[in-house]
């Protein structure tokens, strides 16, 4: 794989994000869960992308989305660039509005997307479709009365809308402005959170010792301690920020959920 370079810290950094058209199938083997811990995904490109840099993001847009809106179906952080390959840390499986025109082939440079997603003036829309069978969790809609189908469709529609707003908020927040985690909060030896001082103090009561132990406790502990040393945002503050932004985004992003019968 390529040589990792440190993201530029310069404030006048003019490097851009990258936008690529892709299908869900193209990304199947590039999802974080499909990658080994130390493995990066890559996308084949012509030449070496020069207007972007490690630390910037690559966004994958699905141009075959229902309706006339494009949507982003994955994004990752660029980790390295070399001739013919753009490496990134995996394509997160998301659905969010696409703010730029995806290229019909190859890739295009776009202004960094995250700040634009959290801009208060944002007006965006995204369309997704669901099927009655999906809403019913796999049951054939013919086996259920119409009223039940409609009830489940309403629940599914609502849940898709929430997912989209949360995915967008998660992609949009500025991680660098979150408080750094300073402690690990263990719930027994099973669950662990990286928290800032204030959150640790607040949640201390949740900490207890018992007999449940994560089967990979040692590895987990080591991994979390390394994460803490390298610097990572507080889990709770991050979740709060995402929740608040998702609420705000509900006003600025028009989510249309079509039913594909």
One residue of 22, 65, 236, 249 binding Zn ion per CB under 5 A: 236
Using CB under 5 A as the binding rule, whether residue 185 contacts Zn ion is answered as: no
Nearer to Zn ion, 237 or 249 (CB): 237
Nearer to Zn ion, 174 or 219 (CB): 174
One residue of 81, 94, 237, 246 binding Zn ion per CB under 5 A: 237
| Chain mean position to CA 60 | 12
Q: CA angle 238-243-247, nearest 5°?
A: 145
Q: Which helix (DSSP H) or strand (DSSP E) does residue 213 occupy?
A: strand 208-213
Strand partners, 71: 62, 97
Nearer to Zn ion, 69 or 182 (CB): 182
CB of 57 to Zn ion, least distance (A): 24
One residue of 165, 199, 242, 246 binding Zn ion per CB under 5 A: 199
Work out whether the CA dihedral 53, 57, 60, 63 comes out positive or negative: negative
Q: How far apart are the first and last CA of the chain?
A: 45
Which residue do the tokens 């086996």 mark?
A: 143
Using CB under 5 A as the binding rule, whether residue 65 contacts Zn ion is answered as: no
- For residue 49, give both structure tokens: 């992308």
Nearer to Zn ion, 3 or 239 (CB): 239
Nearer to Zn ion, 53 or 199 (CB): 199
Of 32, 120, 142, 47, nearest to 77 by C-alpha is 32
One residue of 196, 246, 255, 257 binding Zn ion per CB under 5 A: 196
CB of 200 to Zn ion, least distance (A): 8
Using CB under 5 A as the binding rule, whether residue 242 contacts Zn ion is answered as: no
Q: How far apart are CA 44 and CA 52, in angstroms?
A: 15
**Residues engaged in binding Zn ion (CB under 5 A):** 196, 199, 234, 236-237
């Amino acid at each position: 794989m390529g040589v990792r370079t440190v993201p530029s810290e310069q404030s006048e950094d003019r490097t851009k994000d990258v936008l690529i058209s892709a299908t869900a199938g193209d990304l199947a083997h590039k999802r974080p869960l499909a990658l080994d811990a130390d493995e990066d995904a890559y996308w084949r490109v012509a030449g070496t992308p020069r207007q972007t840099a490690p630390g910037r993001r690559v966004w994958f847009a699905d141009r075959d989305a229902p309706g006339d809106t494009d949507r982003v179906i994955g994004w990752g952080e660029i980790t390295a660039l070399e001739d013919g390959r753009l490496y990134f840390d995996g394509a997160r499986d998301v659905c969010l509005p696409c703010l730029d025109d995806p290229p019909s082939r190859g890739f295009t440079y776009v202004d960094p997307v995250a700040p634009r997603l959290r801009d208060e003036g944002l007006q965006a829309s995204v369309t997704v479709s669901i099927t009655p069978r999906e809403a019913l969790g796999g049951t054939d809609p013919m086996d259920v009365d119409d009223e039940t189908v409609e009830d489940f469709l309403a629940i599914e529609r609502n849940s898709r809308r929430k997912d989209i707003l949360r995915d967008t908020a998660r992609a949009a927040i500025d991680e660098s402005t979150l408080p750094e985690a300073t402690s690990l909060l263990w719930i027994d030896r099973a669950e662990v959170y990286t928290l800032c001082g204030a959150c640790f103090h607040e949640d201390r009561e949740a900490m207890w010792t018992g007999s449940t132990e994560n089967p990979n406790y040692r590895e987990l502990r080591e991994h979390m301690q390394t994460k803490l040393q390298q610097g990572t945002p507080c889990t709770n503050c991050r979740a709060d920020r995402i929740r608040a932004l998702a609420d705000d985004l509900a006003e600025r992003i028009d989510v249309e959920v079509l039913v594909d019968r």
